[in-house]
Structure 1
Amino acid sequence: MSRAFVKEDGNDLAPLPDLPIPDHPNYVTPRGLAALQTRLRDTQSRLATLRARPDRLDKLPEAAAERDIRYLEARLRSAQVIDPARQPLTAVAFGLRVTVAEGSGQTATYEITGEDEADAPLGRIAPHSPLARALMGAEPGDTVTWRRPTGPLELEILKIEPPDDPQP
């Protein structure tokens, strides 16, 4: 068999490119900070397990874990914790939940959270999203316009409240 296509030294796997880090501030809630710390510990543990494998021919999972650790460490270094409990409930702000009504009368509740804890099915939106930008600073009774790709939507602010589970 020809050795032309066989790599003799399997140790030269270049690190995977870093995950992109957004330019804007990294606001996090205490819950979001705890989640990032947990993700980092879990990823470090996964990397240790990968490195302990007897058969380490495939180094890609290790490289992916190392990349994820670099990302999580960068996110933790740049984290600016904002405690929702310290936010007044007079206007929509980071960390708070806001209930809105569309013109049709349908209601929805959103919580403005850090980017890394945003989760649309849970109603958690990032502060730099178009919806969050439309809501920020609005007070109960105000109407805001959410500029969506499908067209603008008018939303009436019904109530502002602290999150259900603000702490980790």
Structure 2
Amino acid sequence: MSRAFVKETDGEERADGAPERPISPHPNYVTPAGLAQLQARVAELSAERQRLLGDESVAAKQQLHRIERELRYYDERVISAIPVDPAGQACDRVHFGATVEVEDEAGHVQRYSIVGEDEADAAHGKISWVSPLARALLNAEVGDMVTWKRPAGDKELHILAIHPYR
């Protein structure tokens, strides 16, 4: 068969055919807890990789490819991490690592902690520092009104309090 009809890889795919996980173009700011989470994930994946190395089954090999892909991603995130300790920052303005209490036009009060991309968890009020909500809140002071630009329509938020992240 002619080589003209054989698909060449472009370096983005690995042996299992899955593309690499994309790495964010933003600086990798992390809280101390976020860095610990990344390091724990690397340790967990490394242990799982070691467990799978001796298994020659097809399922184990497929799982090993997936684990190695995840390990490459998390290794890179640990290497590129820029730790920021929120405890050393003043609470007069919203900053990375701060927990912000806001009230919307309907009187609903919410708390959001501004954290690194990998530690964001909206269900627990942890939002990535590059999210539209965090960008609206950053540098605001208590008493300020900020506009959160959303696809569902803009939302006005009143800054009630700024606390250190825990």
Which interval holds the TM-score relative to the shorter structure? 0.7 to 0.9
Post-superposition CA distance 1:55-91 (Å, at most 9, x none): 4223110001001110011101110000010111000
Counterpart residue type for residue 56 of structure 1: S
Q: Select the residue among 102, 105, 108 that pairs with 2:107.
A: 105
* Equivalent position of 1:5 in the other structure: none
The Cα of 1:52 is off from its aligned counterpart by: 2.9
1:120 aligns with 2:122: yes
* Equivalent position of 2:137 in the other structure: 135
> Aligned partners of 1:26 and 1:87: how far apart in 2?
18
> Aligned partners of 1:101 and 1:57: how far apart in 2?
53
- Mapping of 1:50-89 within 5 angstroms? 50-53=52-55, 55-58=56-59, 59-89=61-91
> Aligned partners of 1:61 and 1:105: how far apart in 2?
48
The Cα of 1:48 is off from its aligned counterpart by: 1.0
1:152 aligns with 2:148: no
With the length of structure 1 as denominator, give the TM-score of the two structures: 0.87
* Equivalent position of 1:10 in the other structure: none
Aligned residues: percent identity?
Answer: 46
Find the residue that maps to 1:104 and give its secondary structure. Answer: coil
Structure 1: where are the runs of 5+ without partners? Answer: 1-12
Find the residue that maps to 2:139 and give its secondary structure. Answer: coil
The Cα of 1:92 is off from its aligned counterpart by: 0.4
* Equivalent position of 2:97 in the other structure: 95
* Equivalent position of 2:42 in the other structure: 40
Structure number with the higher helix fraction is 2
* Equivalent position of 1:31 in the other structure: 33
Structure with larger RCO (C-alpha < 8 A, sep 6+): 1
Counterpart residue type for residue 65 of structure 1: I
